[in-house]
């Protein structure tokens, strides 16, 4: 842990008067307090800012802690202001609080509300921080040189599409596009046959920066609001044909799925870890290096991937886990480094901008963050407990991401869940 980052909101002994916050395995104890946007089911009113506590949502405006500002405005506050708001929410939800009677009227069951994308996402940049993913994928296409020369020096990224981002429960049609078989003389058009998922984290920007004013590595985390689960769906066959020389396009922009909850950087304070490069690897250039980033730049978050096929769903069978990986072992670059590199040329970030981590895979085969890796490009299909096999995703498949933090001396917190379901291609 990092004692300098901890405060009374992280106290393991802290309890809430919301009883569901104490259920074993609960993602949203009082030590978490993630932000999202909600409205009652069936309502046409504007979405409001909520905080998850147990199986409830606290209407933040109804508590009197905020005015009429929207989520992006709240995210744009200074880190100190956000810390004060977190402390006030924590105190009001704590056992013995004199606000219990009033705030109990500001609670709604999560089962009774509609959630949406947690903030307005103006821009979306997806990075490529998972070095084990990069090596495995690179070895499939470039056996003699899996990592390109720039990988260990510069955080690689591309600009994604914000308009097709949805939240958990998203259903999308199988994408169509051009593909080209290795032995074909010309490309063909049709539905993707190699549809994949990508296990990622999404980092959401808080306070932005002015155009032309880079954010230093020492200040980068003050500009991050929080973290969400992210699935960057990928059509591998379309990607293979289109990505040279400018990178992904139609293979990525058809759908991206997020958790509806943003776990704040403050909530993650007990789960920070040292950022260390393997022996022999180049150290980051000075603008991407700082004592604070080395001491606690990494995140100790467990991520899991589960699959439920249509056949499993019809039989009432639970999803089966495909992957379990720790972000600490997967990411070659920290969130602070992504912010700093993104702005070093003067690029301006704004509250609500989304930075994807890229696929997070560990060093072991069962820690792969995509089917492309798990099946070695489709050459070794995985066999599910019910006898079905998968090389890539099929219509009707539901893919689920889960994430949580666990560490001795701290209360477990979760990132919620992200699910998405593949539907047949348009006209299919």
Other CB atoms within 10 Å distance of the CB of residue 255: 20
Q: Which of 212, 69, 7 is closest to 77 using CA atoms?
A: 69
pLDDT at 1 over 50: no
What tens digit of pLDDT does each residue of 301-351 get?
Answer: 999 999 999 999 999 999 999 999 999 999 999 999 999 999 999 999 999
List strands edge to edge, sheet with 113-116.
107-109, 56-59, 48-53, 35-40, 113-116
Output the pLDDT for position 423. 98
How sure is the predictor about 144, in pLDDT bands with cuts at 50, 70 and 90?
Answer: confident
Give the distance, in angstroms, between the CA of residue 207 and the centroid of all CA atoms in the same chain: 19
Give the residue numbers marked as catalytic: 133
How sure is the predictor about 5, in pLDDT bands with cuts at 50, 70 and 90?
Answer: confident
What tens digit of pLDDT does each residue of 346-367 get?
Answer: 999 999 999 999 999 999 989 9
* Rounded Cα distance, 19 and 140, in Å: 50
Instruction: Answer left, alpha or beta for residue 352, where phi above 0 means left and psi between -120 and 50 means alpha.
Output: left
Place of tokens 């973290």: 227
Contact 331, 128 (CB under 8 A): no
What tens digit of pLDDT does each residue of 377-407 get?
Answer: 999 999 999 999 999 999 999 999 999 999 9
What tens digit of pLDDT does each residue of 155-194 get?
Answer: 999 999 999 999 999 999 999 999 999 899 999 999 999 9
What tens digit of pLDDT does each residue of 260-290 get?
Answer: 999 999 999 999 999 999 999 999 999 999 9
Same fold, 3-116 and 124-423: no
CATH superfamily of 3-116: Fumarylacetoacetase, N-terminal domain (2.30.30.230)
Predicted model pTM: 0.96
Other CB atoms within 10 Å distance of the CB of residue 409: 8
Contact 384, 309 (CB under 8 A): yes
What ranges do the domains of the chain cover?
3-116, 124-423
For the chain, first and last CA: distance in Å?
A: 52
Q: Which structure tokens are listed for 389?
A: 């096999």
Q: What angle do CA 402, 322, 116 make, to 5 degrees?
A: 30
How sure is the predictor about 427, in pLDDT bands with cuts at 50, 70 and 90?
Answer: confident
Integer angstrom CA distances of residue 128 from 47, 62, 147, 198, 354: 33, 40, 12, 11, 14
Contact 268, 411 (CB under 8 A): no
Answer CATH for 124-423 from 3.30.465.10, 3.10.180.10, 3.90.850.10, 3.40.1080.10 = 3.90.850.10
Contact 202, 230 (CB under 8 A): yes
């Amino acid at each position: 842990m990092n004692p300098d980052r901890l405060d009374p909101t992280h106290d393991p002994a802290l309890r809430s008067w919301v009883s569901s916050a104490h259920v074993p395995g609960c993602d949203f104890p009082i030590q978490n307090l993630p932000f999202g946007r909600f409205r009652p089911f069936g309502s046409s009113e504007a979405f409001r800012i909520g905080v998850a506590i147990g199986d409830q949502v606290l209407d933040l405006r109804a508590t009197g802690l905020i005015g009429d500002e929207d989520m992006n405005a709240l995210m744009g506050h200074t880190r100190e202001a956000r810390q004060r708001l977190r402390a006030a929410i924590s105190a009001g939800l704590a056992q013995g609080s004199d606000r219990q009677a009033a705030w109990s009227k500001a609670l709604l069951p999560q089962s009774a509300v509609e959630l949406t994308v947690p903030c307005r996402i103006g821009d979306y940049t997806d990075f490529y921080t998972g070095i084990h993913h990069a090596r495995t994928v690179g070895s499939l296409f470039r056996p003699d040189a899996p990592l390109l020369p720039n990988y260990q020096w510069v955080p690689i990224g591309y600009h994604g599409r914000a308009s097709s981002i949805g939240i958990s429960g998203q259903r999308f049609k199988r994408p169509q596009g051009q593909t080209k078989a290795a032995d074909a003389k010309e490309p063909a058009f049709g539905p993707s046959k190699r549809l994949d998922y990508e296990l990622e984290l999404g980092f959401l920007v808080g306070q932005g920066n002015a155009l032309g004013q880079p954010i230093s590595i020492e200040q980068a985390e003050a500009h991050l609001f929080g973290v969400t689960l992210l699935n960057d769906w990928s059509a591998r066959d379309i990607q293979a044909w289109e990505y040279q020389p400018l990178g992904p396009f139609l293979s990525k922009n058809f759908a991206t799925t997020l958790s509806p909850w943003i776990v704040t950087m403050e909530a993650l304070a007990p789960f920070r870890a040292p950022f260390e490069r393997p022996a022999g690897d180049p150290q980051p250039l000075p603008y991407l290096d700082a004592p604070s980033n080395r001491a606690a730049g990494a995140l100790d978050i467990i991520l899991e991937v589960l699959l439920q096929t249509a056949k499993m769903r019809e039989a009432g069978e639970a999803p089966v886990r495909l992957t379990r990986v720790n972000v600490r072992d997967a990411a070659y670059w920290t969130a602070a480094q992504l912010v700093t590199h993104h702005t070093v040329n003067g690029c301006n970030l704004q509250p609500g901008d989304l930075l994807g981590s890229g696929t997070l895979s560990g060093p072991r085969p069962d820690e792969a963050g995509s089917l492309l890796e798990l099946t070695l490009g489709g050459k070794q299909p995985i066999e599910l407990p019910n006898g079905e096999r998968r090389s890539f995703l099929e219509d009707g498949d539901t893919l689920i991401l889960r994430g949580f933090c666990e560490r001795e001396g701290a209360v477990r917190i979760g990132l919620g869940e992200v699910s998405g379901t593949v539907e047949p291609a348009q006209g299919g």
